[in-house]
Amino acid sequence: LAKTTQPISMDSYEGQEVNITCSHNNIATNDYITWYQQFPSQGPRFIIQGYKTKVTNEVASLFIPADRKSSTLSLPRVSLSDTAVYYCLVGGHNTNAGKSTFGDGTTLTVKP
Amino acid sequence: DTAVSQTPKYLVTQMGNDKSIKCEQNLGHDTMYWYKQDSKKFLKIMFSYNNKELIINETVPNRFSPKSPDKAHLNLHINSLELGDSAVYFCASSPASAGYKYEQYFGPGTRLTVT
């Protein structure tokens, strides 16, 4: 299983862009990269998923370099409500359905 | 309607007891999971079931036994509870796919406290 490494914590201010990087040197050819957001006392919630290059949705962007050994979640113009733990997940739904590894999570604190 | 539900939300019990946590998903997904999240927020997969068949069984004591009566349910039974079992347990589900792209939907969690 691809092991992931993320910063333990990050601080930001409202209105700033936040970039959280995840390292996954042993990513497999068939693995996707997925990011989840978790608020206190709630289950993780899907944010974005990608395989290579750049993916953008209404919430975030995901940048994946050509070698796919890392990925960067970009949150534009964060607000206080974006304070949460962000998890990077590498894996895929293959014949061993759902083998994947969550990173240890990055606690993002957005300050006013 | 709640997509992935778990019961109970809180569970306080004594060491040595046996307890169960129930999970149901109404998304029509083929794959369901159990995760354990400890006090440091590390999220570790315990089990994965695909169409009622056990797919993943990570290094988990055999005191933990998942049961999937049908595709929409995955229950977790824990025997002889220990202090170290105290954690938040999350159930999740994901759609089957011919490819590799997938998204997991998590339940609200069950906070288990063993005293």
Residue indicated by tokens 């159990």: B34
Average pLDDT of span B104-110 = 93
pLDDT, residue B43, reads 85
pLDDT, residue A2, reads 63
User: pLDDT of A54-110, one tens digit each?
Assistant: 999 999 999 999 999 999 999 999 999 999 999 998 876 554 444 566 778 999 999
Is the Cβ pair B56, A99 closer than 8 Å?
yes
In single-letter form, the type of residue at position B79 comes to: N
What is the rounded distance in angstroms from the CA atom of residue A10 to the CA atom of residue B79?
39
For residue B15, the distance in angstroms to the closest alpha carbon of chain A comes to 24
Structural domains of chain A sorted by starting position, each given as residue range(s) with its CATH number in brackets: 9-111 (2.60.40.10)
Helix (H) or strand (E) holding B109: none
Structural domains of chain B sorted by starting position, each given as residue range(s) with its CATH number in brackets: 4-114 (2.60.40.10)
Find residues 57-96 of chain B whose CB sits inside 8 Å of chain A. Answer: 90, 92, 94-96
Q: Is the pLDDT score of B83 beyond 70?
A: yes
Rounded to the nearest 10°, the torsion over CA B2, B81, A37, B50 is -60
Grouping H, G, I as helix, E, B as strand and the rest as coil, residue A80 is: helix
Contacts of B99 in chain A (CB under 8 A): 93
What is the rounded distance in angstroms from the CA atom of residue B11 to the CA atom of residue A104?
25
pLDDT, residue B104, reads 86
